[in-house]
């Protein structure tokens, strides 16, 4: 069950998110893999997305199979060793010597202020591992919005690209002599700005979201 912070954050996003433009499958639920585990077609496992290893597009990715040390893009599905963050499917990016990424080109809706997504760093690796978010070739800074028991919600200010067609990329960066493994899900565009990070007020974030929701949320969200 999701916590009150996630529910309130989702309510705010529901209030502010407009049409997703030409971007598709932002929650990865359009996957139609032909088998439970092993190698699967990238086009069936990740429709509309291009998986890349070291910047080279891949026609095959893994499903429910963890990397043994090589860079991989993996679809996490029901019954696998790692549960999806939400719904039935999430994406695992494993960098090892080379980056592992997924990208898609589409229209960033007019009025977009922020990009939000769920992510977790798979435990066991070194600290301070990096998940890069890029618009075109430019890396955009991300901030922590809320923390759950198994994942966090991150946001990025992408207002400069509102109304433009751009490539959106999520990339696990290389970490010397170790794996860098991130799981991501539920990507969305929003007209709500990203809160400024402040270590002294992060503990009060839930109350802030609740206050904003009570003040600005509509009667219903369709």
Query: What is the average pLDDT across 120-141?
Result: 83
Q: Please say whether the beta carbons of 160 and 16 come within 8 A.
A: no
DSSP secondary-structure letter at 85?
Answer: S
Work out the burial of residue 47: count CB atoms within 10 Å of its CB; fewer than 13 is exposed, 13-18 middle, 19 or more buried: middle
Confidence band for 197, pLDDT divided at 50, 70 and 90: low
Going by C-alpha positions, the residue among 216, 166, 219 that lies closest to residue 191 is 216
Provide mean pLDDT across the span 208-221.
40
Q: In the structure, what pLDDT confidence band is assigned to residue 42 with cuts at 50, 70 and 90?
A: very high
Mean per-residue pLDDT for 86-115? 96
Is the confidence at residue 107, as pLDDT, over 90?
Answer: yes
Is the pTM higher than 0.85?
A: no
In this prediction, residues 136-141 reach a mean pLDDT of 96
**Does residue 74 surpass a pLDDT of 60?**
yes
DSSP letters of 174-196?
Answer: PBTTB-EEEEEEEEEEESSPPPP
In angstroms, the CA 89 to CA 63 distance is 10
**How far is the CA of 143 from the CAs of 66, 94, 97, 130, 153, in angstroms?**
28, 21, 26, 12, 9
Taking the CA atoms of 23, 57, 92 and 197 in sequence, report the sign of the dihedral they define. negative
Q: Reply yes or no on whether the pLDDT at 24 is more than 80.
A: yes
Question: In the chain, where are the structural domains located?
Answer: 4-216
**pLDDT tens digit sequence for 62-72:** 999 988 889 99
* Residue 175, pLDDT score: 73
Structure confidence at residue 127 (pLDDT): 56
Q: What is the model's pLDDT at position 189?
A: 96
- Residues 6+ positions from 106 with CB-CB distance below 8 Å: 21, 22, 23, 24, 165, 166, 168
* Average pLDDT of the chain, as a whole number: 81
CATH code: domain 4-216 is 2.60.120.200
Confidence of residue 148 (pLDDT cuts 50, 70, 90): confident
Integer Cα distance of 81 and 79 in angstroms: 7
Which segment of 135-139, 150-154, 211-215 scores lowest on mean pLDDT?
211-215
In this predicted structure, the answer to whether residue 209 has a pLDDT above a threshold of 80 is no
pLDDT at residue 16 tops 60 = no
Concatenated DSSP letters for 25-62? Answer: -TTSTT---SSSSEEEEHHHHSTT-EEEETTEE-SEEE
Task: Please tell me the least confidently modeled range out of 51-65, 161-175, 196-210.
Answer: 196-210
CA 21/CA 45 separation, integer angstroms: 21
What per-residue confidence (pLDDT) applies to 158?
97
Better-scored residue on pLDDT, 58 or 69: 58
């Amino acid at each position: 069950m999701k916590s009150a912070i996630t529910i309130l954050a989702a309510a705010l996003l529901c209030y502010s998110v407009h049409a997703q433009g030409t971007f598709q499958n932002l929650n990865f639920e359009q996957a139609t893999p032909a088998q439970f585990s092993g190698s699967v077609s990238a086009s069936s496992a990740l429709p509309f997305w291009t998986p890349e290893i070291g910047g080279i597009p891949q026609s095959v990715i893994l499903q429910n199979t963890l990397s043994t040390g090589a860079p991989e893009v993996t679809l996490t599905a029901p019954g696998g060793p790692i549960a999806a963050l939400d719904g039935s499917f999430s994406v695992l990016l494993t960098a090892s010597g080379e980056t592992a990424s997924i990208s898609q080109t589409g229209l960033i809706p007019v009025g977009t202020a922020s990009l939000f997504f769920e992510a977790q760093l798979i435990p066991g690796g070194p600290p301070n591992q990096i998940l890069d978010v890029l618009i075109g070739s430019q890396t955009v800074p991300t901030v922590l919005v809320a923390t759950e028991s198994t994942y966090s919600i991150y946001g990025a200010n992408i207002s400069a690209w509102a109304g433009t067609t751009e490539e959106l990329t999520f990339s696990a960066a290389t970490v010397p002599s170790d794996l860098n493994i991130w799981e991501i899900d539920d990507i969305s565009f929003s007209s709500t700005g990203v809160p400024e990070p402040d270590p002294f007020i992060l503990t009060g974030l839930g109350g802030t979201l609740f206050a904003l929701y009570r003040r600005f949320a509509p009667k219903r969200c369709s």
